[in-house]
Amino acid sequence: MSLPSENKTNVNESLPQPNGLDAFDIEHGISDIETPPEVPLSGQFKKCFAYFTIRYRLPNILVSLLNSIREDLKVNPSNYEEADISFVLESIEKLKTQVENNGRLEKIASKAPDVDIWNNFIANLPENASFFNICWLYAECYLYRRIYSLFEATNTMAQYDYFGPQKMKALQMSDHVMEELIQTTDNCENTCETFCHMLKLNLWGNKCDLSLSSGKDVKPLENLSQLIVSLNTNILVDDSAAIWNCLNQQPAQQQQVADTKYVDLICDNAGFELFTDLLFGQYLLQNALAKVVRYHVKAMPWFVSDTTAQDIHKTLKYLDGHKSHVLRDFGKRCSKYFEEGAFQIAEESYFWTTPYEFYRMSEINPKLYKDLSTSSLLVFKGDLNYRKLLGDFNWNFSDDFRKCLRGFNPTRLCTLRTIKGDLLCGLKPESVKCPDLARQLSLGKNDWMFTGNYAVIQLLL
Ligand SMILES: O=P(O)(O)OC[C@@]1(O)O[C@H](CO)[C@@H](O)[C@@H]1O
């Protein structure tokens, strides 16, 4: 492992990890086993990261949220009604208790356009559906949708970006590394080597994730540009050269209509990762690998640090007004790309914040599927998008990426994911170059999957 130790995400050290079953587990029918092969990941299996997440991480995320809201409202006095503030704080406490007691999933109360999709989804789950007994993906998405519904129910706080302060802090902590990357990647040419370098900077940007750290501050890797080569052994599947080849050729079905060459980034985290998305977008434009880069963002605050449209605006404003001329110039350039339409925020879609796996997209949101099919390449960023591509299912590690996508293939697509959950496919054990990991794999251990220290870059043509 070549990651500097101060940058490792010590998720497992900060929280208790009891062995064997405790009273809670027995009451809720939890088994003290790994997820069996070819079943959905869920909190039913104590050795699945889902259990650890629901039992410890989600309550901690809610505590961090309560602290962050209290702090923010103290520092930035607002016009929010006192009654609304009390309501959201109390409701988040109640939600925490509900998670901690493995509560049943209630219907979502909301006026937003996704409410029927959500409530139909919930209605189709087994009657006793609760946080620990349903698929991890569903339980976790449900929690974030419930949080949003609490704010929606108020008179004055519906627009409040309750994860905003945590995201802004993460961006501010990245100044130094952002400057370094802008300077070291200035005017990179269109060669396979530089493309792979840019792609990998973008990949490792995904290590910075406030959901994995339970809302605690995360700093990007220092000297990332220099680390990229040594980090190659941590990339377990690396299709980056094939991605470069594919971007240098237009897909057959688009050759007649292809005045505009779109590359679509299905974004993940705001803060440092979003910065790397912009940097990668600039590289694509400067080298004519895309005419337009479309950024797909979440329609509501999501998984703590996920990017919303507001985050893009705030990031541009932050960079644009920065005292460092390097960051300021970059911010101005990106703002101009947006003004000219070379960068675009894709049309808002609530699909990204449904619990649906992507193979269901063509049925649930055919318009989005069709829009995505106009792209030269879809880049799915991060762990949650990977979970939705594979459907939070315990595939065999060696299963083919195409098989695991279950027919989802609107156009060519790739995934840039640092591994933060116990699911994976497309792995050839002989291509694992890292001795420590090879040993863990041979012992059937999966702790390495929760750290973000390993990654995959996978392509589907
Ligand atoms: O999508 P991201 O930001 O890369 O990761 C999201 C994430 O932190 O949330 C999930 C658990 O809460 C994990 O699977 C994953 O690590």
Task: Output the CA–CA distances (angstroms, integers) from residue 332 to 135, 258, 318, in the order listed.
Answer: 43, 29, 10
Q: Which atom of ligand 1 is nearest to the CA of 206?
A: 4
Instruction: Find the 88 Cα to ligand 1 centroid distance in Å.
Output: 24
Instruction: Find the 212 Cα to ligand 1 centroid distance in Å.
Output: 6
Strand order in 262-266's β-sheet? 235-238, 455-460, 413-418, 377-381, 262-266, 292-296, 343-345
What is the model's pLDDT at position 442?
85
Distance CA 373, CA 369 (A): 6
Residue nearest to atom 16 of ligand 1 (CA): 420
Residue nearest to atom 15 of ligand 1 (CA): 420
Instruction: Find the 23 Cα to ligand 1 centroid distance in Å.
Output: 28
Q: Which atom of ligand 1 is nearest to the CA of 386?
A: 1
What is the model's pLDDT at position 11?
41
Q: Which atom of ligand 1 is nearest to the CA of 269?
A: 3
Instruction: Find the 187 Cα to ligand 1 centroid distance in Å.
Output: 32
Q: Which atom of ligand 1 is nearest to the CA of 61?
A: 12
Instruction: Choose one of 210, 383, 416, 450 to mutate for the ligand 1 pocket test, by most ligand atoms within 8 angstroms of C-beta.
Output: 383
**Max alpha carbon distance in the chain (Å)?**
64
Q: Which atom of ligand 1 is nearest to the CA of 417?
A: 4
Instruction: Find the 453 Cα to ligand 1 centroid distance in Å.
Output: 13
Residue nearest to atom 14 of ligand 1 (CA): 421
Q: Which atom of ligand 1 is nearest to the CA of 305?
A: 3
Instruction: Find the 382 Cα to ligand 1 centroid distance in Å.
Output: 7
Instruction: Find the 341 Cα to ligand 1 centroid distance in Å.
Output: 30
Instruction: Find the 68 Cα to ligand 1 centroid distance in Å.
Output: 20
Distance CA 227, CA 132 (A): 39
pLDDT in 10s for each residue of the chain, 461 residues: 223 232 333 344 344 456 799 999 999 999 999 999 999 999 999 999 999 999 999 999 999 999 999 999 998 878 899 999 999 999 999 999 999 999 999 999 999 999 999 999 999 999 999 999 999 999 999 999 999 999 999 999 999 999 999 999 999 999 999 999 999 998 888 999 999 999 999 999 998 766 666 666 667 777 888 889 999 999 999 999 999 999 998 766 555 455 679 999 999 999 999 999 999 999 999 999 999 999 999 999 999 999 999 999 999 999 999 999 999 999 999 999 999 999 999 999 999 999 999 999 999 999 999 999 999 999 999 999 999 999 999 999 999 999 999 999 999 999 999 999 999 999 988 888 888 888 888 888 888 999 999 999 999 99
Instruction: Find the 280 Cα to ligand 1 centroid distance in Å.
Output: 21
Instruction: Choose one of 147, 211, 353 to mutate for the ligand 1 pocket test, by most ligand atoms within 8 angstroms of C-beta.
Output: 211
Is residue 249 within 8 A of residue 353, CB to CB? The reply is no
Is residue 331 within 8 A of residue 318, CB to CB? The reply is yes
What are 417's strand-pairing partners? 456
Instruction: Find the 138 Cα to ligand 1 centroid distance in Å.
Output: 13
Residues 348, 320, 304, 373: is their CA dihedral positive or negative? positive
Instruction: Find the 421 Cα to ligand 1 centroid distance in Å.
Output: 7
Q: Which of 52, 80, 66 is nearest to 147 (CA)?
A: 66
Task: List, chain by chain if needed, residues with CB within 6 Å of any ligand 1 atom.
Answer: 53, 140, 206, 209, 211-212, 268-269, 303, 382-384, 387, 420-421
What are 39's strand-pairing partners? none
User: What count of other Cβ atoms lies within 10 Å of the Cβ of residue 188?
Assistant: 17
Question: What SS3 state is found at 42?
Answer: strand
What is the model's pLDDT at position 444?
83
Q: Dihedral, CA atoms, 159, 160, 161, 162, nearest 10 degrees? A: -140
Residue nearest to atom 8 of ligand 1 (CA): 212
- 415 contact partners, CB below 8 Å, separation of at least 6: 379, 380, 381, 385, 386, 389, 456, 457, 458
Task: Output the CA–CA distances (angstroms, integers) from residue 313 to 280, 356, 375, in the order listed.
Answer: 18, 28, 24
Question: What SS3 state is found at 101?
Answer: coil
What is the model's pLDDT at position 1?
26
- The pTM score is 0.94
What is the model's pLDDT at position 254?
58
Question: What SS3 state is found at 294?
Answer: strand
Question: Which spans in 341-445 are helix H?
Answer: 361-364, 366-372, 382-390, 401-404, 435-442
Q: Which atom of ligand 1 is nearest to the CA of 418?
A: 4
User: What count of other Cβ atoms lies within 10 Å of the Cβ of residue 255?
Assistant: 9
Question: Which spans in 205-344 are helix H?
Answer: 224-230, 240-247, 272-286, 309-320, 325-340
What is the model's pLDDT at position 12?
42
Instruction: Find the 415 Cα to ligand 1 centroid distance in Å.
Output: 14
Q: What single letter denotes the amino acid at residue 203?
A: L
Q: What is the ipTM of this complex?
A: 0.94
Buried-exposed string 241-254: b where 16+ CB fall within 10 A, e elsewhere: eebbebbeeeeeeb
Question: Which spans in 153-271 are helix H?
Answer: 164-172, 175-184, 192-204, 224-230, 240-247
Distance CA 440, CA 461 (A): 31
Is residue 338 within 8 A of residue 344, CB to CB? The reply is yes
Residue corresponding to tokens 């509560």:
103
Is residue 64 within 8 A of residue 166, CB to CB? The reply is yes
Q: Which atom of ligand 1 is nearest to the CA of 211?
A: 8
Q: Dihedral, CA atoms, 105, 268, 311, 86, nearest 10 degrees? A: 20
DSSP letter for each residue of 331-367: HHHHHHHHHHTSEEEPPP-GGGGSS--GGGHHHH-HH
Instruction: Choose one of 166, 216, 303, 305 to mutate for the ligand 1 pocket test, by most ligand atoms within 8 angstroms of C-beta.
Output: 303
E-state strands within 99-238? 235-238
